[in-house]
Amino acid sequence: MTRIAAAFEKARGEGRAAFIAYLTAGDPSEDTTVALARALDRAGADVLELGVPFSDPIADGPVLQRSAERALEAGTTLSGVFEMARKIREETSLALVLFSYLNPLLRKGMAGTGREAAAAGFDGVLVTDLPPEEATDYQPVLRAGGLDTVFLVSPTSPPARMKAAARLSSGFLYVVSRPGTTGARPRLPRDLPETVGRARRAARDLPIAVGFGISTPETARRAARLADGVVVGSALVRASEEFGEGRVEAVERLARSLRESCRLAPISQPSTLDS
């Protein structure tokens, strides 16, 4: 069993959805990223997506765009991301996902990237701009290195693409809650239950995680009732951005409340689904 699979199994045994956090590696520095990862581990996060900063983050909203800019200005490289992962692996129990656009990974070659990622302590890879139709040359290379491969599906994904993404995925299948870019939003889209249902039929026994737009305990609670995992990124990165020197405590506090909201308890009204 991979560390990612074990994280989902542990969460299921505790009667909750897995809490998956995202950080941009190197924002605002390598040491701070490691400190934030330790804070997330203390808060009970199960999985950490560690994002490779990229100069053209087409899927990211303003918060993560600024985060990538700060990380690149600080000199963050893919090799630096691997070094951060080594420290995080030594100091936490988090399952680690390398979260990247394709271009930075191709510079080293996919096989070389996979070997280095696994040696650094990563458990899986998610490439945001790699559709399943174009992944057949890359996915086997990463899986051969012992890494889970996570693919994205969205409300606009037709059945054939959902099935292809699920077939290539291990660890979990990532359901993007709405079309568009990342970013915290006050409500979940009304069609999310239908999207998750279609993804679950395609994934069968593979866990489903929902991300994009989840930012509050209430939206996390509602997402947890639909999926096996809840992904939060922009809200955590924004807390780090806004609280400056107090960012570690702020991120840990927010993460703790989000993780607690992933317990499968009855939800309150009013609804946080878009009308």
**Helices 247-261 & 234-243, crossing angle to 10 degrees?**
150
Active-site residue set: 49, 60
> Using the 8-state DSSP alphabet, how is residue 155 labeled?
T
Q: What's the one-letter identity of residue 113?
A: T
What's the CA gap between 5 and 14, in Å, rounded? 14
Q: Which residue in the block uniquely carries the two structure tokens 């040359």?
A: 137
Q: Which residue in the block uniquely carries the two structure tokens 């990229």?
A: 54
> CA 106, 108, 114, 120: dihedral to nearest 10 degrees?
-130
What's the CA gap between 198 and 192, in Å, rounded? 10
